[in-house]
Structure 1
Amino acid sequence: MSEISLYRNLDEMMPWDARLQVLGVIGISDEAPDVKTFTFRSDNQTWFRYKPGQFITLELPTATGPLMRTYTLSSSPSRPLSIAVTVKAQAGSIGTRWMFDNLKPGALVKAYGPAGDFSLHSHPAAKYLFISAGSGITPMMSMLRWLNDCAPWTDVGFVNCARRPEEIIFRKELELLGTHMPGLSLGFMIEERSSREGWFGHIGRIDAVRLPLLAPDFREREIFCCGPDPFMRAVRQMLEASGYDMDRYHQESFAAPVVEEVPAPFAPTGGSEEPVEAMTLVRFALSGVDAECVGGQTVLQTARASGVRIPAACEFGLCGTCKVKKLSGDVEMNHNGGILDHEIDEGFILACCSRPLSALEIEA
């Protein structure tokens, strides 16, 4: 990359296209024990357009093959020349540990997205409350950084829970933002004291007694929550019991929803004891493969059975990684927000949750 190319105006650049460009690592920083921020820029001098709170899916080239992992962006779209993910290496984590051990400045990684609807842009309000635990702080930080850059007077409460004081991610930056944003109210809560530093704040777990202490007017605020599933479940139950309007509650989770049972294969009448599986022809145009889709199978399952690779991460219609263009035919698609209406109008589908209703041709 030449020195001149580093200084281009935004209107001279095109938005990043996940189908055409990859990400290059430009920075790695430690945030807390086993927590790092990886900062990326496009390999082709493009800028990033997304909503604060959205996520991307990284394709990690591990020794055993490509590994798909979804991470929320901790950066703000108000600074569009780079994006960042802040990740915590949990016990037994594979993808994050691979990133810790292998990603260095200059490394290239393929990515998909951004996607997701967990953003204050999707739910505008006069007052916000961000409640998080552990690495669930990342979408909250993205939204808060955007507010700091674009609307620093916003009335926002920020509550973060951690096991120990040193495990509060972004603590120094948050305290600095607290001096710059007149409407920001910070509340930290830890579960246990640490020998590494003193603590004079709240100790314990967030509950119906402590929440009003941290945010006395929480019933008047649009609430966003992110963290481990037990944490979010406890917050939700606490708010429901308090009489909070749950239409104003939003949470981010990458856990799979309850899966509906796939209908049994079609069995014609006439006394046959063995059911006959209905077959649908699916053509994968770029791969030049014609495949038969068994009744009840998704486009993604058919692709895998035929040796056609379609990237996929969550596989329940949330992340949008398996988005492909449908050239002809009809599908039934039951997704969980991983695709936008205008993309559907343009012919795109999510392969993981689309089942053929007729012969199909897919751009894959």
Structure 2
Amino acid sequence: MSSCLNGSAEPARERLTAPGAWNAEADDVLVCRAVRQETHDVRTFVFGARTPQRFDYRPGQFLTFAFEIGGETIHRCYTISSAPTRPDVVSITVKRVEGGPVSNWLHDTMRPGKEVRALGPMGEFSCFDHPAKKYLFLSGGSGVTPMMSMSRTFHDLAEPRDVAFVHSARTPADIVFRTELELMAARDPGFRFIPICERDAPAERWHGFSGRISLPMLALAVPDFREREVFVCGPAPYMAGVRKMMADAGFDMARHHEESFNFEELSGAEQAAAEQAGEALDAQPTPAEVKTFRVEFSKTRRFVDCPENVTVLDAARKAGMRLPSSCTKGLCGTCKSKLVSGTVDMKHAGGIRQREIDAGMALLCCSKPTSDLVVDR
């Protein structure tokens, strides 16, 4: 026996005989176990529970993290890139984005042993919710992560599924999980990996599909794509292009599923969201009998008038305020904020714990004021 164990039980064995599933309501702390370099600007962060526990989730779901950065709590959602078939740890895979407050903090400071808080798993973007014999996974950039979780799951279970995985990247050097995906394709005749690159990498000339995904390219790579259940994830322009491409091809869009979290692109996303919020509010005249409340954002010292039938987030966006958010359904927790004073009517979908509500927290995307408010933002 190794002397470093001092006669104690093997730690790995203890973790593999975990008594139950990790429950964020009981203990929301995760410990970083490993950091793995995937590409020059993408890393995978592996987390485990503080005590031996296992993770129960559907491939494609996400976790909402509460990161303490610069004295501020920032909530971000990251899709799980690991597979539930390997339940003792859970992983997220993050691309470093220039100016991105969270991605840069993770790359620069997250190390084995460091603790973070998380909520979840959550989300309805999963192959388990849409069983099929044939799948088409379409991803762009960091959108590879949920597809990787699904692919790893089917591979581990040796499921007789026909999966075509088409991934778009800038260069060969930017293909995340390239070696593993190529190995899975070599071992499993039912799994095909089709990467598309916009251009060559400095150290590698690309000989595969080049440019951006198009209908002729897809028809050549996956001729039977109309017969498949389709999952799409990537940047907003990528998903919009794929959505139009599939609709133009006459695809049954009831079998088209998509998800995206563009947290590091808040400027453009917030501008579009502000326009949408304004249009929605302008299209819904406020009757005279509807009360309007005053919402104060204490940190920015901004004031917003918010009708009782409008969410605080929509009112703030219409006023031009930049507030982090993503799902707008009370699911992801990104817009979670402290109510210094006042009350709201909040109808959430699981993105906040009861103890947080009891402590005065609220999700602004699904909270309508029932009094004047002061929000710690």
After TM superposition, the score normalised by the length of structure 2 is: 0.75
Unaligned stretches of 5+ residues in structure 1? 269-274, 280-292, 302-311, 360-364
- Matching residue of 1:13: 19
Is 1:314 the counterpart of 2:314 in the alignment?
no
Inter-partner Cα distance in structure 1 for 2:76 and 2:15: 32
Deviation string, structure 1 residues 222-241 (Cα, Å, up to 9, x no partner)? 01011111111111111111
Query: CA RMSD for the aligned pairs?
Result: 3.4
Deviates more, 1:31-40 or 1:43-52: 43-52
Match of 2:166 among 144, 159, 176: 159
Deviation at 1:96, TM superposition (A): 0.7
Alignment of 1:35-114 (within 5 A): 35-114=42-121
User: Cα 1:298–1:39, aligned 2, differ >3 Å: closer, same or farther?
Assistant: same
Amino acid at match of 2:326: C
User: Cα 1:159–1:153, aligned 2, differ >3 Å: closer, same or farther?
Assistant: same
- Matching residue of 1:248: 255
Inter-partner Cα distance in structure 2 for 1:138 and 1:130: 11
Deviation string, structure 1 residues 146-183 (Cα, Å, up to 9, x no partner)? 00011442100010111111110000000100122120
User: Cα 1:358–1:214, aligned 2, differ >3 Å: closer, same or farther?
Assistant: same
Q: Is the CA contact (8 Å cut-off) linking 2:329 and 2:366 kept in structure 1?
A: no
Q: Is the CA contact (8 Å cut-off) linking 2:328 and 2:366 kept in structure 1?
A: no
Deviation at 1:300, TM superposition (A): 9.1
Alignment of 1:1-364 (within 5 A): 3-4=9-10, 6-8=12-14, 12-19=18-25, 20-254=27-261, 258-259=276-277, 260-261=280-281, 267=288, 277=292, 295-296=308-309, 314=326, 316-317=328-329, 319-321=331-333, 331=345, 333=347, 338-339=349-350, 351-355=363-367
Deviation string, structure 1 residues 174-232 (Cα, Å, up to 9, x no partner)? 01001221201121111111230232211111111101111110000001011111111
Structure number having the greater helix percentage: 2
Deviates more, 1:258-267 or 1:57-66: 258-267
Deviation string, structure 1 residues 263-320 (Cα, Å, up to 9, x no partner)? 777745xxxxxx96479xxxxxxxxxxxxx983465999xxxxxxxxxx853722544
Secondary structure in 2 matching 1:124: coil
Q: Is the CA contact (8 Å cut-off) linking 1:266 and 1:295 kept in structure 2?
A: no
- Matching residue of 2:318: none
Inter-partner Cα distance in structure 2 for 1:351 and 1:332: 7
User: Cα 1:215–1:57, aligned 2, differ >3 Å: closer, same or farther?
Assistant: same
Amino acid at match of 1:218: F
Inter-partner Cα distance in structure 2 for 1:28 and 1:10: 21
After TM superposition, the score normalised by the length of structure 1 is: 0.77
Q: Is the CA contact (8 Å cut-off) linking 2:154 and 2:161 kept in structure 1?
A: yes
User: Cα 1:84–1:278, aligned 2, differ >3 Å: closer, same or farther?
Assistant: closer
Amino acid at match of 1:52: P
- Matching residue of 2:302: none
User: Cα 1:278–1:100, aligned 2, differ >3 Å: closer, same or farther?
Assistant: closer
Amino acid at match of 1:155: D
Q: Is the CA contact (8 Å cut-off) linking 1:254 and 1:314 kept in structure 2?
A: yes
Q: How many residues align?
A: 319
Inter-partner Cα distance in structure 2 for 1:75 and 1:181: 19
Inter-partner Cα distance in structure 2 for 1:323 and 1:98: 20
Secondary structure in 1 matching 2:137: strand
User: Cα 1:12–1:158, aligned 2, differ >3 Å: closer, same or farther?
Assistant: closer
Deviation at 1:332, TM superposition (A): 6.5
Inter-partner Cα distance in structure 1 for 2:70 and 2:362: 27
